[in-house]
Amino acid sequence: MASPRKLIKQLEAAGAKSIISKPDLRSKAVNGVGAFVFPLQKLTFQYDQPRIGAGGTSKGITQFLLTSLSDFASKHPTVEICVERITRNDPKLIAKYVFNVGKEINCKGMPLEEVKRRVKYLAETSGFPDTKFSKPIIDSNSNKVMRPWDPFHSNTMFKP
């Protein structure tokens, strides 16, 4: 059996007018429809290599790179991971998300567990600012379950 595109081309070649407009033949990638696009695109680790035996401000990030980076990379195969060695600057985690939104976290003096927590936070967020809802999402005057409205049991009788 021929594909739909071939059939449409055959019909158009036979003299039929355009059956389907050209943009309708392609599907657009939207999150949740057909495919999921992971929000985090690139994660950059900037660190300064501490001297042997010295603490340094990048100790937590270097421990993460040595112990946990391979696990993170295997769990998130779509994320581009960059490791940059910098000098005389504080260590940073820089996340770049879809739509060119980014977050930057200063990791000066953070222990390994805190760096793991921050990397997990960057991987699980969308890049947009966190919103806090001050009011409850469902607003109701009463906490009981109400039946659907019908005209025969209301306080004012419905007369058509």
Per run of 10 residues, the mean pLDDT along the chain (length 160 residues) is: 70 65 55 74 88 73 90 91 88 91 92 95 87 70 68 64
Q: Which residues contact 114 (CB under 8 A, 6 or more apart)?
A: 60, 107
CB 123 within 8 Å of CB 80: no
Q: Taking the CA of residue 75 as centre, how many other CA atoms within 13 Å lie in the half-sphere pointing to its CB? A: 10
pLDDT at 56: 78
Confidence (pLDDT) at 33: 63
Q: Output the pLDDT for position 1.
A: 58
Tokens matching residue 7: 């059939």
Angle at the Cα of 67 (from 61 to 69), degrees rounded to 5? 70
Parallel, antiparallel or unpaired: strands 40-47 and 92-97: antiparallel
CB contact set of 127 (below 8 Å; sequence gap of 6+):
39, 40, 95, 97, 98, 99, 101, 102, 103
Looking at residue 94, its pLDDT comes to: 95
Question: Exposed (0-12), middle (13-18) or buried (19+): which is 55, by Cβ within 10 Å?
Answer: exposed
Amino acid identity, residue 30? V
The predicted structure's pLDDT at residue 30 = 61
What is the distance, to the nearest Å, from the Cα of residue 155 to the centroid of all Cα atoms in its chain?
49
H or E segment to which residue 42 belongs: strand 40-47
